[in-house]
């Protein structure tokens, strides 16, 4: 893992997986602590099995059916879509136009919903805990799998992508064991901002290379400077994002004038 692409790959997957796993952990803790740990853990296990199958099928299909240049174009565009979506939310939150992500509030809402749900039992499991845990882990995991597959295939380095995701899962689980509560101290908006920048950067890089699939010889285009061009692309997205935050920033309301009485000398 010596090139800038390898390091960018590992960091992108690690940070993206951290964000998704923190969100999944909040749902899991709410179900386990409010309803049933057994049913919650079974739901997690079922979701992991489903994710394994999804990963195998999707990865095989992309690697087998598409030539390299077409793969770069498709994955680059998809990464741009994901990255710009994450950036949009991060920019709106940073500018004050969208509420910050609050894991404590999400945990509270999930716990209340779990407490209010009926006690339906199927196959010896608390069905509500099972379904919500399965859905939460699977949906959050699909985004991680997508990032692992797209980054790994395009960079021709699946082991590094997988290692980044596994490291993130281990870190989140260890943190959860230590604090026994939702990870509210994780700077999630900052992480999402960073991941959005990285996804948009790599998406731009690979989408431009993939435009070679539209040429007669269908050969990938080459950037001047090779992998080092990732740095100016990242700088460009960062500059645009900072400008948008400043343009969209919600003005701070001016303080209301004091209603205190003023004496004859003009003093409060």
Percentages of the chain per state (helix, strand, coil), in multiples of 5: 75, 0, 25
Confidence at residue 261, expressed as pLDDT on a 0 to 100 scale: 44
For the chain, percent of residues with pLDDT exceeding 90: 5
β-partners of residue 20 are none
Residue 130 has pLDDT above 90, yes or no: no
Confidence grade of residue 231 (pLDDT, cut at 50, 70, 90): confident
Higher-confidence residue of 104 and 261: namely: 104
Q: How distant is the alpha carbon of residue 4 from its chain centre?
A: 21
- How far is 3 from 248, CA to CA, in rounded Å? 37
Higher-confidence residue of 32 and 105: namely: 32
Confidence at residue 27, expressed as pLDDT on a 0 to 100 scale: 81
Radius of gyration of the chain (CA): 23
Domain range annotation of the chain: 4-248
Are the beta carbons of 111 and 34 closer than 8 angstroms? yes
Tracing tokens 């602590």 back to the chain, one arrives at: 33
For the chain, what's the residue count? 268
In 95-229, alpha helices (H): 103-116, 127-154, 158-179, 188-210
**Cβ neighbours of 121 (radius 10 Å):** 13
Average pLDDT, integer, range 7-19:
77
Confidence at residue 260, expressed as pLDDT on a 0 to 100 scale: 46
Are the beta carbons of 137 and 48 closer than 8 angstroms? yes
Are the beta carbons of 16 and 195 closer than 8 angstroms? yes
Q: What are phi and psi of 232, to 5 degrees?
A: -65, -30
Confidence grade of residue 255 (pLDDT, cut at 50, 70, 90): low
Confidence at residue 100, expressed as pLDDT on a 0 to 100 scale: 67
- How far is 51 from 212, CA to CA, in rounded Å? 32
Residue 149 has pLDDT above 60, yes or no: yes
Tracing tokens 């699946």 back to the chain, one arrives at: 158
Among 184-188, 224-228, 231-235, the minimum mean pLDDT is found in 184-188
- How far is 108 from 100, CA to CA, in rounded Å? 16
Average pLDDT, integer, range 167-188:
69
In what helix (H) or strand (E) does residue 62 lie, and over which residues does it extend?
Answer: helix 37-65
Q: What is the pTM of this model?
A: 0.69
Are the beta carbons of 171 and 61 closer than 8 angstroms? no
Confidence grade of residue 14 (pLDDT, cut at 50, 70, 90): confident
- How far is 34 from 108, CA to CA, in rounded Å? 10
């Amino acid at each position: 893992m010596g090139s800038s692409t390898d390091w960018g790959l590992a960091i992108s997957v690690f940070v993206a997986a951290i964000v998704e796993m923190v969100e999944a952990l909040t749902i899991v803790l709410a179900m386990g602590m409010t309803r049933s740990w057994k049913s919650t853990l079974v739901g997690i296990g079922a979701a992991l099995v489903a994710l394994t199958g999804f990963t195998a099928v999707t990865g095989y299909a992309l690697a087998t059916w598409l030539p390299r240049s077409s793969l770069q174009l498709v994955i680059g565009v998809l990464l741009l879509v994901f990255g710009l979506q994450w950036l949009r939310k991060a920019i709106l939150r940073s500018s004050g136009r969208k509420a910050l992500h609050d894991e404590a509030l999400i945990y509270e809402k999930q716990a209340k919903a779990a407490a209010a749900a009926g006690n339906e039992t199927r196959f010896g499991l608390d069905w509500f805990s099972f379904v919500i845990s399965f859905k939460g882990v699977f949906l959050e995991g699909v985004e991680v799998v997508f990032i692992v597959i797209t980054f790994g295939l395009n960079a021709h380095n699946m082991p590094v992508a997988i290692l980044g995701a596994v490291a993130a899962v281990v870190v989140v689980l260890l943190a959860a064991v230590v604090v026994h509560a939702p990870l509210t101290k994780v700077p999630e908006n900052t992480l999402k901002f960073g991941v959005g920048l990285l996804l948009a950067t790599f998406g731009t890089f690979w989408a431009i290379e993939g435009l070679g699939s539209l040429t007669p010889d269908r050969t990938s285009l080459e950037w001047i400077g090779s992998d080092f061009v990732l740095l100016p692309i990242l700088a460009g997205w960062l500059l645009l994002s900072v400008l948008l935050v400043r343009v969209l920033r919600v003005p701070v309301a001016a303080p209301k004038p004091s209603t205190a009485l003023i004496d004859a000398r003009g003093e409060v």
